Amino acid sequence: MDYRKYVAEKLNIEGVDMGEIASSVVVPPDKAMGDYALPCFKFAKIMRRSPVAIAEQLAASFTPDGVLESCEAVNGYLNFRINRLGLIKETLSKVLSEGEKYGSSERGKGKTVCIDYSSINVAKPFHIGHLSTTVIGGALYRLFKFAGYNAVGINHLGDYGTQFGKLIYAYKAWGDKKAVEEGGVKELTRLYVRYHKESEENKSMDDEARRYFKLIEEGDKECNELFNWFKEITLKEVEKIYEELDISFDSYAGESFYNDKMQPVIDELERKGLLKESEGAKIVDLSDYDMPPCLILRSDGASLYATRDLAAACYRKDTYDFDKCLYVVAYQQNLHFRQIYKVLELMGKDWAKDLVHVAYGMVSLLDENGNQVAMSTRNGTVVLLEDVLKKCHSKSLEVIESKNPDLEDKETIAKQVGTGAVIFAALSNSKIKDIAFSYDKILNFDGETGPYVQYTAARIKSVLRKGGIGGSYEGYEPNEDEYQLASAISTFGEVVNSAIDKLEPFYVTRFALEISSLFNKFYFDNKIIGEEEKTRNFRLDLCRATLVAISNALTLLGIKIPERM
């Protein structure tokens, strides 16, 4: 039940829109105050009375029913207590009947949202710095689909620029086909690193690299064959990681895709008098908006990120007619996106307001001494995401072997736990916060981690295997532990909506942790299998509902649940 809407309908305050009342209803910070509260301060002007008087008047006219059993006026607030038995019955019925659809909705029906995420660089390693954009974008993609939207996942590949000219130079100078086929992206990275070291002594190499990239743009057969080969090698390798992280895309249209789509945008900027010349380059002046100029073409006529992003935004609107287009990109690009959105607005694109930069913090890895590991692709000192996942799998296996050495299929479970730990850690706080990974911390089975939630779900599965089907529990009176757990489960739909509205997947990780914590308190304080029939039946259904809630939450995050742990 939507309790906020129910409160609004029941109160029906004259002169105040029901939607406004519903949106004003909050959950009190202390449960002792009630289950829901309505601050009456914003109604004072409309009703021409003090908030305290309004609250007292509404409380006096309130009639308890099977949904809301009490209403109390306290210092300008209306505090409501819901009918606990009614909430529990409704929650269990809804969760168990809807199963994997529990928490979903049709709020996005008929609406399209494009999500640009991961956006790896071709011929460069998939390192830990790509983790946040990949898992945040993946979670948002699933969340929007879960809410009925037509979600379009876009991997805007970094497959354009002079770095490919550098790589072709390096391959032609020192490369070997067999070595690249066997070494893949690692071998391409080795060549790229060597190029940068050698070019420090031989600056003419950069001229050659620019020439090779120009040949790619002009359609040179040999250069494009090499370029496409590098791209195939990259995608083949990263697809394994995407599969492990449960990440998928509907489009791999990268920067090079817009090579023939930039000129119409440049022409339009010219026609509308927005393109200015500055020191030989072409810019859009944004000084009136407290921003530096947006560089569209270099003095040599070469395009830039901004040129391609403008073309990409126009293409996506024409192709998908999106209601929202999200860019899951690090916060360092804040200015870039502000410039892009402003240029599109100046071009008269009224849909520029629907472009959203989903900024996130930086990811780093801590070594065994707690020091941050420095990373640089040019220097060859990146931390590969593949290596991080493998290490987490290995450490998970060590923990499992120490806690449950006889567990079947330990390797598969260790992989699920290790990968889940990495994803959960990346999504466990607000996306804008920087993340520093510590293997011991994220793999703690007793902390606020993915393994803790997975272990809770596996524990519930064990209880249900032993407990059987269950049956009727008519007349059973739930205790406080049971009410708190059922009450938290009932909020999942609200949690999903909040995660979508705020573009914050961590609402879902927090929900999974809260449910796991409440379940474990219930589990340790209450017998299940050995109780009398009515109590056992109710508690088994509560276990089933808890498992559905945790499973749905983890699925939205891209995390698998082992059968046993």
Q: Is there a contact between 148 and 108 (Cβ–Cβ < 8 Å)? A: yes
CA end-to-end distance (rounded Å), the chain? 35
Q: Rounded to whole angstroms, how far apart are CA atoms 337 and 508?
A: 27
User: What structural domains does the chain harbor?
Assistant: 3-82 (3.30.1360.70), 275-300 (no CATH)
Backbone φ and ψ of 409, nearest 5° = 55, 45
Total H helices, total E strands in the chain: 21, 12
CA dihedral 117, 118, 122, 126 (to 10 degrees): 180
What pTM was estimated for this model as a whole?
A: 0.90
Q: What is the pLDDT of residue 374?
A: 60
The tens digit of pLDDT for each residue in 414-425 reads 999 999 999 999
Q: CB atoms < 10 A from the CB of 261, how many?
A: 17
pLDDT digits (tens, 9 = 90+) for 89-117: 999 999 999 999 999 999 999 999 999 99
Q: Half-sphere exposure of 220 toward its Cβ, with a 13 Å CA cutoff?
A: 13
Split the chain (565 residues) into runs of 10 and give each run's mean pLDDT.
87 84 90 90 89 94 91 94 90 96 97 96 86 96 98 94 91 93 91 90 90 87 93 91 95 92 96 94 96 92 89 98 97 96 98 97 76 61 83 92 90 95 94 83 85 96 90 89 94 95 97 97 94 93 97 98 92
pLDDT digits (tens, 9 = 90+) for 441-455: 888 878 899 999 999
User: What pLDDT score was predicted for residue 14?
Assistant: 79
